[in-house]
Structure 1
């Protein structure tokens, strides 16, 4: 199929107070729902470790990034993380290069406190998250959706920046609340499906 799309979706392993990480639970629900016959969906559970994230994202983008730039319009990486303070499914617009002081699951943090030395301070997704948010909200899926410009200076933000850098902006980051606060796993899976479908619609429209 000529216009087949590739979508990579990741969620995180447990860490800290999150003995069950709702991001990975939501991604597994999405895997069951799928994104339709025109999309090849690949899902991965990501360690809460800076070095592992760096290696994994390099590997994923090397594996899935097309050689021809125009074909990148059919490729999207969506990373999902949990936010203990979130009560809505939150779409992140930017990834940030600096401020990574908090130790990961292996008690490691980058000596430089940054993702890419001499990289840009901030990278934006090619997707307009305000537009995605409005379209999903208008569809009335029963899950609140919001937009944020700060993904938190921990593994979520680190993952997002690295993916935006490697994927030339063809990435997105979605924060989900902890399970049952207030949404169940099926709600989060449906919300993730709706969000990604709108992202793909927007990419398609932008390159038409």
Structure 2
């Protein structure tokens, strides 16, 4: 019997500030070349570093594709590992985006919970990927940075009842190549899909709003 196909959406960000090449989008393009296996349809999307674009694009992605999972990939100039973010935060957005804009309320969703956790067990995913012998270190974080990465993650978690993930990557060559990052994303998302299978039975209990 043929396995049911699953759809996964993976996003990266466009250039911003000093980063004329955003490693997150390069890594996502590498992942697109590799794919996620025969039973997973992969859709990739580049997101501009703009709050209002995120507010428009994220709900549209969920509505259009009804994916099993959405994984957002972002760049952290301070990161030296590939970092799995456990949660998104609603409040504290003061940094200006590429349009010199930030939300007047300094929050993602007015009246939304302060923090939303992913339904994916990031500790389990990290442990599983770390046993694969990839030449990439994977770590866990609870603070996605209160900029467009965190804003995107929270918005997506809110619209998906927690069925989203966020992965921070370091700048290219510091220390990983685009190919290494693509392979790491492939392994991480495979582990996330496996974890989702286990949690599907109680998915509807999480993060109701």
Question: What is the TM-score normalised by the length of structure 1?
Answer: 0.94
Are 1:133 and 2:141 matched, yes or no? no
Give the structure 1 partner of residue 7 of structure 2.
6
Are 1:24 and 2:25 matched, yes or no? yes
Give the structure 2 partner of residue 79 of structure 1.
72
Give the structure 1 partner of residue 207 of structure 2.
none
Q: Residue 51 of structure 1: CA displacement? A: 0.3
Q: Residue 2 of structure 1: CA displacement? A: 5.7
Equivalent position to 2:162, from 158, 165, 169:
169
Are 1:180 and 2:164 matched, yes or no? no
Are 1:56 and 2:49 matched, yes or no? no
For the Cα contact (< 8 Å) 2:119–2:199, is it kept in 1? no
Give the structure 2 partner of residue 71 of structure 1.
none
Which digits, 9 at most, give the CA deviation of each residue in 1:110-129, with x for residues without a partner? 00000000000000000010
Unpaired runs of 5+ residues, structure 2, are: 202-209
Are 1:92 and 2:85 matched, yes or no? yes
Give the structure 1 partner of residue 141 of structure 2.
148
Equivalent position to 2:200, from 184, 204, 207:
207
SS across alignment from 2:12: strand
Greater than 4 Å deviation, 4+ residue runs: none
Give the structure 2 partner of residue 70 of structure 1.
none
Give the structure 1 partner of residue 116 of structure 2.
123
SS across alignment from 1:60: helix
Q: Residue 140 of structure 1: CA displacement? A: 1.1
Task: Give aligned pairs, total.
Answer: 200
Q: Residue 207 of structure 1: CA displacement? A: 3.1
SS across alignment from 2:156: helix
Give the structure 1 partner of residue 188 of structure 2.
195
Equivalent position to 2:103, from 88, 110, 115:
110
Which digits, 9 at most, give the CA deviation of each residue in 1:87-140, with x for residues without a partner? 000000000000001000000000000000000000000001011000000111
Question: What is the TM-score normalised by the length of structure 2?
Answer: 0.93
Measured on the aligned residues, the alpha-carbon RMSD in Å equals: 1.1
Structure 2 CA distance for aligned equivalents of residues 146 and 64 of structure 1: 29
